[in-house]
Structure 1
Protein backbone atom coordinates (compact mmCIF):
# COMPACT_ATOMS: atom_id res chain seq x y z
CA UNK A 1 0.00 0.00 0.00
CA UNK A 2 1.51 3.29 -1.15
CA UNK A 3 -1.19 5.94 -1.42
CA UNK A 4 -0.86 9.69 -1.94
CA UNK A 5 -3.89 11.93 -1.38
CA UNK A 6 -4.45 15.66 -1.76
CA UNK A 7 -7.12 18.07 -0.61
CA UNK A 8 -7.23 21.36 -2.51
CA UNK A 9 -9.75 24.07 -1.60
CA UNK A 10 -8.36 27.46 -2.77
CA UNK A 11 -11.27 29.46 -1.33
CA UNK A 12 -10.37 28.11 2.13
CA UNK A 13 -6.59 28.34 1.55
CA UNK A 14 -6.43 24.56 2.00
CA UNK A 15 -3.62 22.82 0.09
CA UNK A 16 -2.93 19.58 1.98
CA UNK A 17 -1.45 16.17 1.24
CA UNK A 18 -1.61 12.85 3.03
CA UNK A 19 0.57 9.82 2.23
CA UNK A 20 0.07 6.29 3.58
CA UNK A 21 2.86 3.72 3.16
CA UNK A 22 3.64 0.25 4.42
CA UNK A 23 7.34 -0.26 5.03
CA UNK A 24 9.41 -3.18 6.36
CA UNK A 25 10.14 -3.15 10.07
CA UNK A 26 13.09 -4.55 12.04
CA UNK A 27 11.01 -5.88 14.92
CA UNK A 28 7.74 -6.87 13.25
CA UNK A 29 6.70 -7.81 9.77
CA UNK A 30 5.63 -4.32 8.63
CA UNK A 31 4.94 -0.80 9.86
CA UNK A 32 2.47 1.84 8.74
CA UNK A 33 4.01 5.24 7.99
CA UNK A 34 1.82 8.29 7.40
CA UNK A 35 3.00 11.68 6.23
CA UNK A 36 0.84 14.81 6.05
CA UNK A 37 1.12 18.55 5.69
CA UNK A 38 0.86 21.46 3.27
CA UNK A 39 1.62 20.72 -0.38
CA UNK A 40 5.16 21.84 -1.21
CA UNK A 41 6.43 21.34 2.34
CA UNK A 42 8.05 18.32 3.96
CA UNK A 43 5.16 17.81 6.37
CA UNK A 44 5.14 15.54 9.37
CA UNK A 45 5.88 11.83 9.50
CA UNK A 46 4.49 9.38 12.02
CA UNK A 47 4.93 5.62 12.30
CA UNK A 48 1.35 4.72 13.24
CA UNK A 49 1.99 1.13 14.21
CA UNK A 50 3.67 -2.14 13.38
CA UNK A 51 2.78 -5.79 13.36
CA UNK A 52 1.74 -8.36 10.84
CA UNK A 53 1.14 -7.24 7.30
CA UNK A 54 -2.58 -7.90 7.64
CA UNK A 55 -2.89 -5.78 10.81
CA UNK A 56 -0.95 -2.92 9.25
CA UNK A 57 -3.11 -3.07 6.10
CA UNK A 58 -6.22 -2.86 8.29
CA UNK A 59 -4.86 0.25 10.03
CA UNK A 60 -4.03 1.81 6.68
CA UNK A 61 -7.49 0.99 5.32
CA UNK A 62 -9.16 2.72 8.29
CA UNK A 63 -7.04 5.85 7.84
CA UNK A 64 -7.71 5.87 4.09
CA UNK A 65 -11.48 5.69 4.59
CA UNK A 66 -11.33 8.58 7.06
CA UNK A 67 -9.25 10.76 4.73
CA UNK A 68 -11.60 10.06 1.80
CA UNK A 69 -14.58 11.08 3.96
CA UNK A 70 -12.75 14.34 4.76
CA UNK A 71 -12.46 15.24 1.07
CA UNK A 72 -8.99 13.99 0.14
CA UNK A 73 -8.56 12.60 -3.40
CA UNK A 74 -5.85 10.40 -5.00
CA UNK A 75 -3.53 12.65 -7.06
CA UNK A 76 -0.65 10.59 -8.48
CA UNK A 77 -0.86 9.80 -12.18
CA UNK A 78 -2.68 6.52 -12.72
CA UNK A 79 -3.49 6.06 -9.04
CA UNK A 80 -7.02 5.01 -8.27
CA UNK A 81 -8.41 3.59 -5.06
CA UNK A 82 -9.87 0.20 -5.90
CA UNK A 83 -12.72 -1.31 -3.94
CA UNK A 84 -10.49 -4.15 -2.76
CA UNK A 85 -8.24 -1.65 -0.98
CA UNK A 86 -11.19 -0.31 0.97
CA UNK A 87 -12.67 -3.72 1.73
CA UNK A 88 -10.69 -6.74 2.85
CA UNK A 89 -12.11 -9.74 0.95
CA UNK A 90 -10.26 -12.17 3.25
CA UNK A 91 -12.25 -11.14 6.30
CA UNK A 92 -16.00 -11.41 6.75
CA UNK A 93 -18.02 -8.24 6.98
CA UNK A 94 -18.48 -7.06 10.57
CA UNK A 95 -21.70 -8.15 12.17
CA UNK A 96 -24.22 -5.57 13.24
CA UNK A 97 -23.77 -4.56 16.88
CA UNK A 98 -26.25 -6.19 19.23
CA UNK A 99 -29.23 -4.06 20.07
CA UNK A 100 -29.21 -2.63 23.56
CA UNK A 101 -32.20 -3.45 25.65
CA UNK A 102 -33.48 -0.64 27.77
CA UNK A 103 -34.44 -1.30 31.32
CA UNK A 104 -38.13 -0.91 32.04
CA UNK A 105 -39.27 2.46 33.36
CA UNK A 106 -40.18 2.26 37.00
CA UNK A 107 -43.14 4.12 38.27
CA UNK A 108 -42.79 6.09 41.46
CA UNK A 109 -40.06 8.58 42.27
CA UNK A 110 -38.74 10.72 39.41
CA UNK A 111 -35.09 10.26 38.47
CA UNK A 112 -32.60 12.97 39.44
Structure 2
Protein backbone atom coordinates (compact mmCIF):
# COMPACT_ATOMS: atom_id res chain seq x y z
CA UNK A 1 0.00 0.00 0.00
CA UNK A 2 1.28 3.44 -0.91
CA UNK A 3 1.84 5.84 1.97
CA UNK A 4 -0.30 9.01 1.91
CA UNK A 5 1.19 12.23 0.64
CA UNK A 6 1.71 15.17 2.97
CA UNK A 7 -1.33 17.31 3.62
CA UNK A 8 -1.49 20.83 2.20
CA UNK A 9 -3.01 23.27 4.72
CA UNK A 10 -4.30 26.62 3.45
CA UNK A 11 -5.94 29.47 5.38
CA UNK A 12 -7.69 32.69 4.49
CA UNK A 13 -8.25 35.35 7.14
CA UNK A 14 -9.86 38.76 6.75
CA UNK A 15 -10.89 40.29 10.10
CA UNK A 16 -12.70 43.19 8.41
CA UNK A 17 -15.10 40.65 6.82
CA UNK A 18 -15.11 38.27 9.84
CA UNK A 19 -13.55 35.62 7.61
CA UNK A 20 -11.42 32.77 8.96
CA UNK A 21 -11.44 29.77 6.61
CA UNK A 22 -9.31 26.69 6.09
CA UNK A 23 -8.82 24.34 3.13
CA UNK A 24 -6.86 21.08 3.34
CA UNK A 25 -5.85 18.82 0.45
CA UNK A 26 -4.25 15.37 0.59
CA UNK A 27 -3.73 12.36 -1.65
CA UNK A 28 -4.53 8.84 -0.45
CA UNK A 29 -5.31 5.48 -1.99
CA UNK A 30 -8.63 3.68 -1.72
CA UNK A 31 -9.13 0.06 -0.76
CA UNK A 32 -9.46 -0.76 -4.45
CA UNK A 33 -6.24 0.97 -5.52
CA UNK A 34 -7.78 4.17 -6.90
CA UNK A 35 -6.14 7.50 -6.16
CA UNK A 36 -8.24 9.68 -3.85
CA UNK A 37 -8.02 13.45 -3.49
CA UNK A 38 -9.34 14.35 -0.04
CA UNK A 39 -10.64 17.92 0.27
CA UNK A 40 -11.64 19.43 3.62
CA UNK A 41 -12.83 22.99 4.11
CA UNK A 42 -14.76 25.26 6.45
CA UNK A 43 -14.51 27.95 9.08
CA UNK A 44 -11.45 27.70 11.33
CA UNK A 45 -12.45 26.09 14.63
CA UNK A 46 -15.16 23.87 13.11
CA UNK A 47 -15.07 20.38 11.63
CA UNK A 48 -16.02 21.73 8.23
CA UNK A 49 -16.92 19.58 5.25
CA UNK A 50 -15.12 16.71 3.53
CA UNK A 51 -15.18 15.51 -0.06
CA UNK A 52 -13.44 12.54 -1.68
CA UNK A 53 -12.67 12.66 -5.41
CA UNK A 54 -11.63 9.38 -7.06
CA UNK A 55 -9.10 9.28 -9.92
CA UNK A 56 -7.85 6.38 -12.02
CA UNK A 57 -4.18 7.26 -11.52
CA UNK A 58 -2.09 9.05 -8.91
CA UNK A 59 -0.84 11.45 -11.62
CA UNK A 60 -4.40 12.61 -12.34
CA UNK A 61 -5.07 13.14 -8.64
CA UNK A 62 -1.80 15.05 -8.22
CA UNK A 63 -2.71 17.29 -11.18
CA UNK A 64 -6.13 18.00 -9.66
CA UNK A 65 -4.47 18.83 -6.31
CA UNK A 66 -2.12 21.31 -8.02
CA UNK A 67 -5.00 22.99 -9.89
CA UNK A 68 -7.13 23.30 -6.73
CA UNK A 69 -4.23 24.66 -4.68
CA UNK A 70 -3.43 27.26 -7.36
CA UNK A 71 -7.08 28.29 -7.51
CA UNK A 72 -7.25 28.75 -3.73
CA UNK A 73 -4.02 30.80 -3.68
CA UNK A 74 -5.50 33.08 -6.37
CA UNK A 75 -8.53 33.54 -4.13
CA UNK A 76 -6.38 34.71 -1.21
CA UNK A 77 -5.53 31.53 0.70
CA UNK A 78 -1.99 31.10 1.97
CA UNK A 79 -0.04 28.06 3.09
CA UNK A 80 0.18 27.27 6.80
CA UNK A 81 3.36 25.89 8.32
* TM > 0.5: yes
Q: Paired residue for 2:21? A: 16
Per-residue Cα deviation, 1:28-58 (whole angstroms, up to 9, x for no partner): 3420000000001000000023221101001
Work out whether residues 28 and 50 of structure 1, in 8 Å CA contact, stay in contact via their aligned partners in 2.
no
Larger radius of gyration: 1
Normalized against structure 1, the TM-score is what? 0.64
Q: Paired residue for 1:85? A: none
Is 1:50 aligned to residue 55 of structure 2?
yes
Q: Partners of 1:34 and 1:68 in 2: how far apart? A: 15
Aligned pairs, number:
76
Is 1:37 aligned to residue 42 of structure 2?
yes
Structure having the larger proportion of residues in strand: 2
Per-residue Cα deviation, 1:51-76 (whole angstroms, up to 9, x for no partner): 21101001111101100000000012
Normalized against structure 2, the TM-score is what? 0.87
Per-residue Cα deviation, 1:83-109 (whole angstroms, up to 9, x for no partner): xxxxxxxxxxxxxxxxxxxxxxxxxxx
Q: Partners of 1:29 and 1:73 in 2: how far apart? A: 29
List gaps (5 residues or longer) in structure 1.
Answer: 77-112
- Please list every run of at least 4 consecutive aligned residues from structure 1 whose deviation after the TM superposition is greater than 3 angstroms: none
